[in-house]
Amino acid sequence: MVVPTLIAVNTAVYVLTAVQAGNPMYNSLSVLFRELSLVPAYVHAGEWWRVITSGFLHIGPIHLVVNMLALWMLGRDLEIVLGRGRFLALYLVSLLGGSAAVMLFYAPDEQVAGASGAVFGLMGALVVVLRRLRAPAGQVFGIIGLNVVISLVIPGISLIGHLGGLVVGAAATAALVYAPPRNRTAVQAAAIAGLTVVLLLLIWATTLR
């Protein structure tokens, strides 16, 4: 249920920006895109929603299709393993992790958008889940390596945002799958909440520079 819903939301937002811009290839020119994308300087000015809303924007149809295919392929099994609520929490905290990395390392006027941080979080999550199940994770490491190379080679791709999502996704999943049986739900909730607070504090710290 969660994965198709996320795909539907991302697609709907893209369609809205494309219609508003009057061109599906240059939807980033729309007013909505400018209001929701991640620009560190605007976050510093108090527009905090951008650290989340930017993760539902995509620049052109190819960007959207690639991310949604990755979300579908990675997310289906993870949602079954983790459950709907935990999977959604993982997705959102990974998205926030990518945004926090951008806030820490990007110039104030740079613009970033896309679900890639969250998708990389799912890659990190899959590695942790496979290790927890004592299953081979070599193929996933290969996919992550390939995507890192692509992020380095193709201009305009946010490698920093990808790595931020990857690290946070892996950390969040470790907290979920290695939580002790006793009070498991409470421990999982506390871990995700704690990670979220740390990320928000890091973002807030960038506003003080």
pLDDT at position 153 is 57
Show which residues are catalytic. 116, 162
Q: Which fold, 2-206?
A: Rhomboid-like fold (1.20.1540)
For 126-182, how does the pLDDT look when each residue is reduced to its tens digit (9 = 90+)? 999 988 888 766 677 777 777 666 666 565 667 788 899 999 999 999 999 999 988
**Cβ atoms of 143 and 123 closer than 8 Å:** yes
Nearest to 165 by CA among 112, 127, 124: 124
Separation between Cα atoms, residue 118 and residue 139, nearest integer Å: 19
Predicted structure pTM score: 0.92
**Cβ atoms of 51 and 99 closer than 8 Å:** yes
